[in-house]
Structure 1
Amino acid sequence: MRARDVHVWYGETHAIKGVSIDITLDEVVAFIGPSGCGKSTFLRCFNRMNDTVPSARVTGEIRLDGEDIYAPDMDVVQLRARVGMVFQKPNPFPKSIYENIAYGPRIHGLARTRGELDAIVEAALEKAGLWTEVRDRLQEPGTALSGGQQQRLCIARAIAVDPEVILMDEPCSALDPIATAKVEELIDELRGRYAIVIVTHNMQQAARISQKTAFFHMGDLVEFGNTRDIFTNPRETRTKDYITGRFG
């Protein structure tokens, strides 16, 4: 995905100010910055989740494989299948584990037979590292799983419709350290199959799992580059002050 000169307003509030960035397939990109800096707002531009906020207005250009995602003829339902989203709190549907995964492929017509649907469900759970834990429990409610398993179920649900991009908005903030480690391992395993963008308030997490890091402050993209460089040799004073804990 490629964003150029993106601005976002909520009413009179200028939340994102002229941000340009490229998201590529082979790298996990982390968005870091203090609370309220605009990182989640910008993330939600990539699958037009800001459309659901009546006061939100987005300008600039965001392209997915060369297509303008804000073009009038863009099918937003199809866009959100191509650009999946995993939220801060695990939000499984109030359905069985099987139906949580099968729902998307079914409404998008990705399976013609029950056998094909079974294969999609198994493959998605396998990619999410959950198959061996739930294969004998597929008819149990998704909400019966632990918090970490629920979050991996939500990742499997996003994978099931064969997206190109997966957006993750602080996916580990509600999880314990063991569950967090499993989700981080999963993100690393998925790198290269999908373009992945993660918003995180945890700088250690960004350093562990991302190859590129974008630092946001008060709606500005202050610095974007290789994660190692951002954390060891930032070019901008604001980046250095944030990483060293002078503000946050």
Structure 2
Amino acid sequence: MSIRKHVMVAMVAASFGAILFGQREATAQSPAGASGRGAAVFTKRNMFGVSCGNSMAECKAFCSAACDILPSGGANCPRVPTSGEGLIAGDSSQLMSIAKALPNLKYVKVAAGAKATQEVVDGLKRLDGWLATSPDRAKYNYSIQVNNCWRDGVYDSKVECYFIMKDKNPQDLKLAWPGATPHSSGKACDLVLVDQAGKVATPSNACTADAKTSSRVDFKTASKLLDEALTNDVVGAQRLNYEAWHFEWGGAVRADDCRCKAPECQEKFWPPSCTPAGCRAH
């Protein structure tokens, strides 16, 4: 990873902490200027639902109405909309516990508390069945770890708004514009391949061909295995072409939508760049 990317990662990580601290601090104090401010409204659309737009000007106006920067340096965003097209609420009947819905998975491991829609649950069940008969899975003796699927859209918008209000373009930090996402709309999962020793071979946020892991399976081979397991016609997922860990169910694969399937993911989009280029990420 380049020095610039190390700096970006450190900046994002530090700011995540500031945001979380700011949310706790907000319960003890009300930032100046918050009272009397109108509610933020998503006025645009992206491919998954509501959006603030796709420019700093549009989204800074939204974020200024939705959030406050606290004296601590954190952000409090109590006025980010919690409903709208592509924003599934955490208590929605559309969501279910993956572990409870699929208690007998053998080759797919699921993080505690992970939720998904029925469409995604069905896809993960097909994935486990496909892995059971895969010669490559048997050869490498790997499993697939589900880190998260559905994710509250408000959480992502808070992070993105923090940077926007600091005059930092979220896309320069490999983030999206605030609004509905594949995760908030219940279509996506972040997955990694885990080798027989329990080592992650496809690290999240790996953006270079030589990304280092402690696995004996090299990153490119592991990414290829993951693509083939998820995007075949049986399992039916598609991958975000610039992230090796992000897979979705539903929607056609189009060149301008940043999605791919094997073998195209490896042939045209290796290594993953972590940044959309010439296509619509959301």
* TM-score past 0.5 threshold: no
Greater per-residue strand proportion? 1
Bigger Rg, which one: 2
If asked which structure has higher relative contact order (CA below 8 Å, sep 6+), I would say 1
